[in-house]
Each structure stands twice: as structure tokens, then as C-alpha cells.
Structure 1
Amino acid sequence: MSRYRRKKKNRAGRFSIACIVILLLAVMSVQIVRLYDKNQDYDLKEADLNEQLEQETERRDQIADYEEYIGSQEYVEDTAKSKLGLVYDNEIVFKEK
């Protein structure tokens, strides 16, 4: 083979390798952008779920406090006063007209 043909084959080989590398870089860039967007979505979902967790934890605490209140003597007295109209012997009841 002549020297000219070898250079021509070398150029074609280099060109094809350069095209493949550029194509791979383009594909990888697109994938990086997609993963970045997906990561942003997951961060938003995580923040939302953390907020929901805090709300549910607060609600659980409120329910526990209410359950404790229901079991107390104070609840029994309040219920008897409000629903049944019962009072202690030494209490004075003022009613609005």
C-alpha cells in the first residue's frame, strides 16, 4: 500500500472514533440532565413526606394527650356538667337569659 492510502484509512478511523466519542458524550449529557431532574423531583417528594411525617407525629401526640384526658376525672366532671347539667352541692350556676 502506498503512504497516501494508509493516511486515508487512518483519517477515516480517527473520524469514526471521534464521532463515536461525541455520540457517547451527547448520550451521557442527556442522561445526566434526566438524572438531575429526577433527583430534584425526589428531593421535593422527600421534603413533602418529611412535612407529612411531622404533621402525623404531632397528630399522634395530640391523640395521646386526648386519650389521657378522656381517662381523667376532669373529663368525667366536664362531661357531666356540660351534657347532663350536674353540679357539685357547693357550686352556684349562673345562666344567661
Structure 2
Amino acid sequence: MGILLIVMAVFCVTAIGSLQLKQKNQTYQNREAALEKQIADETERSKEIEDLETYTKTKKYVEDVAKEKLGLVYEDEILFKASGK
């Protein structure tokens, strides 16, 4: 009878430990998935920043800024402005 109680106690402790480990494993898997998504998002963001950096080094960027922010145009360009009506 005493051996049966010891076996039952060991079984219960093992079962409880197993359940706790499964819960921890699920938590870690969820955390891993969240981190992988964050890595993917940051990789995409990094690519966008690299693209912007490349664009800012082009003549097209300089022209766009000159036109939009400074209102500059080429000598041979014709501007059409909308009337305030």
C-alpha cells in the first residue's frame, strides 16, 4: 500500500510539472512568434529607410524639394496656377 502511494505521488508531481512545462512552452512559442513578427517589421522598416537614403542622394530628390518647398522651377518650365475662384 505504501509503494502505491509513493507511485501515485510521483505520478501527480510529474503530471503537474508536465502541465507547467507545457504552459511555459506555449508562452515561449507565443513570445517567439511576436519577436519574429517584430524582426520582420523592423527589417521592412530598415529597407524603407535605405530606400529613402538612396532617394535623397539623387538629383530627382533635389529637384522635388526645390519645386515643392522652395517653389523653384527650370527656366524653360511653364507654371499654371489655379485661380482663387
TM-score bracket, shorter-length normalisation: over 0.9
**Taking structure 1 as the reference length, what is the TM-score of the superposition?**
0.82
* Deviant stretches of 4+, over 4 Å: none
**Taking structure 2 as the reference length, what is the TM-score of the superposition?**
0.93
Compare relative contact order (CA 8 Å, sep 6+) and give the higher one, 1 or 2: 2
Distance in structure 1 (CA, Å) of the matches to 2:24 and 2:82? 63
The answer to whether the aligner puts 1:62 opposite 2:48 as a matched pair is yes
Aligned counterpart, 2:19: 33
Between structure 1 and structure 2, the one with the greater Rg is 1
**Which structure 1 residue ranges, 5 or more long, are not aligned?**
1-14
The answer to whether the aligner puts 1:92 opposite 2:51 as a matched pair is no
Correspondence list, 1:1-97, <5 A: 15-97=1-83
Q: Which has the higher helix share?
A: 1
Q: What is the total number of aligned residue pairs between the two structures?
A: 83
**Which structure 2 residue ranges, 5 or more long, are not aligned?**
none
Identical aligned pairs, as a percentage? 45
| RMSD across aligned positions (CA) | 0.7
